[in-house]
Chains A and B, each alone.
Chain A
């Protein structure tokens, strides 16, 4: 990052993405003008109309922020559970080849079964509220955590392993002082990916499990039903921002923990 920005000046930092953004907004205006040049445009409102409705009206914004907070809680709880479960399984799988072989197919299965196919079953089993939404988040974000942690645990250098073997360090000591710290950078890669996925899971869950507090997904569904397109787009923007924020938070924590010794990401 710093090297590129030194070499390319504004081109290396925010310049190019800003240019793409402006082009995009321009195209949006063009499209809106083309399809519905009326004052209130249901299918494609002008960008400034979206900004006015969502950010210019405090009660609208509060409504969306409240929903964002509900989604954040669901995604956050789901992610924390996924981290605990994922690390536990990765550690178990790293300890013996047969454990890894026993569980790995199911980890892959978890990833390949379309979450939407599972959702009705989850609802019947665990109800249509907070709990089920969290379960969807856990399922969707578990796989990257397991695979990245496992990869990290197994990526220990042989020379480092020899140091511990020379001093007859027991398995638990090796895990604690060698494999686990060595796995941290890869673990955080997994957390970052899963943080974004967990937000997706929370919004998908909202579509099916509408009981309890209203999250972004439920609001998005409502806005669609009431043809409030500006607010619908606002909901999309906030869910995207939430995903990015979660991703960044784990990037930041990862840098705090591993930044002093690991150069990367």
Chain B
């Protein structure tokens, strides 16, 4: 499904967004995400990061500019796990397949595989109310994984989790990324998270959001925990942090 010579999974060409109330959220944002690339966007709160994802997914239409998606089949993981509380873990994971008309037998099998993949075996019948924040996020991930999307959008998915859970989920996300080889577009305000996960980090300015920095992250995958204490990692994080501050003024 993914090859390095294929077309970009996502292209933004000078995309601007002005909301009906006059708020200018994005100003000529251009970016590409290629298959097998994991791109993070870091930026201050309220800079329009989430708007980028809402536009990429088609939930919002841009005021100006072009958006191109290679494949309409995208995964979208929200800030909240957005699980339907009346559905069990199993049923929540089957939701997207249900909406896409996948038959029952295939739904069962794909859901079982996704549950296995995110390590939730044994929790199939639980309702979200009985799950921890980290487990809810795993369900949310599994739900999107069932459709094997070519492009995955992540909207600060781990922002509300504690540090330990967050780092563990970072590792698991990398493992999924290496296994599924989707194109990833990840929104966060944590520079270290962005640097740890990504092949590339984009820095966004204060509202209206513009891309003010683009950094290649050269570390090999799979990435180990020790990377977080690597001097080069710290240096890169520092450079990104500086770019973020410059964009802030």
Which A residues lie at the B interface, using CB under 8 A?
Answer: 157, 159-160, 162-169, 173, 177-178, 181-182, 184, 258, 260-263
Instruction: Using known A-B contacts A164-B99, A167-B100, determine if residue A159 contacts B129 with beta carbons closer than 8 Å.
Output: no
Extra 18 A-B pairs, beta carbons < 8 Å, given A157-B82, A182-B84, A260-B127: A159-B78, A162-B76, A162-B78, A162-B82, A163-B96, A166-B58, A166-B59, A167-B99, A173-B99, A177-B95, A177-B98, A178-B84, A258-B86, A260-B129, A261-B87, A261-B128, A262-B86, A262-B129
Pairs of residues from A and B, 9 with the lowest C-beta to C-beta distance, nearest first? A167-B99, A159-B82, A261-B127, A261-B85, A181-B86, A261-B86, A169-B99, A260-B127, A159-B80
> Which B residues contact A (CB, under 8 angstroms)?
57-59, 74, 76, 78, 80, 82, 84-87, 95-96, 98-100, 127-129
Residue of A nearest to B95 (CB): A163
With A166-B59, A260-B127 already in contact, the answer to whether A160 and B100 are too (CB < 8 A) is: no
Chain A: which residue is nearest B82 at the CB level?
A159
Which one, A165, A177, A178, A261, contacts B129 given CB within 8 A?
Answer: A261
- Which of B82, B96, B99 contacts A160, CB < 8 Å? B82
> Which residues in B have their C-beta under 8 angstroms from that of A181?
84, 86
By a CB distance below 8 angstroms, the chain A residues around B59 are 162, 165-166
Question: Residues of A contacting B84 with CB < 8 Å?
Answer: 160, 178, 181-182
Q: How far is the CA of A185 from the CA of B242 in the complex (A)?
A: 50
Most B Cβ at <10 Å: residue of A165, A258, A261, A262: A261
Task: Give every chain B residue within 8 A of A184 (Cβ-Cβ).
Answer: 86
The secondary-structure label for the interface of chain A is: helix
Report how far A162 CA is from B58 CA in the complex, Å. 10
CB distance from A263 to the nearest CB of B (A): 6
The A-B contact count (CB < 8 A) is 47
Alpha-carbon gap, A262 to B129, bound state (A): 8
> Within the assembled complex, what's the spacing in Å between the Cα atoms of A53 and B139?
62
Nearest CB of chain B from residue A117's CB, rounded to whole Å = 42
Pick the contact of A163: B58, B74, B82, B85 (CB < 8 A).
B82
Chain A residue at minimal CB-CB distance from B147: A167
Is the beta-carbon distance between B76 and A166 smaller than 8 angstroms?
Answer: yes
Bound form: Cα–Cα A49–B127 in Å: 53
Closest to B99 in A: A167
15 A–B pairs (Cβ distance < 8 Å), ordered by A: A160-B84, A162-B78, A163-B82, A166-B59, A166-B74, A166-B76, A167-B96, A167-B100, A173-B99, A181-B84, A182-B84, A182-B86, A184-B86, A260-B129, A262-B85
Give Cα A88–Cα B145 distance, bound, in whole angstroms: 37
Bound Cα distance A168, B128 (Å): 24
Please indicate the chain B residues that have their CB under 8 angstroms from the CB of A157 in the complex. 82
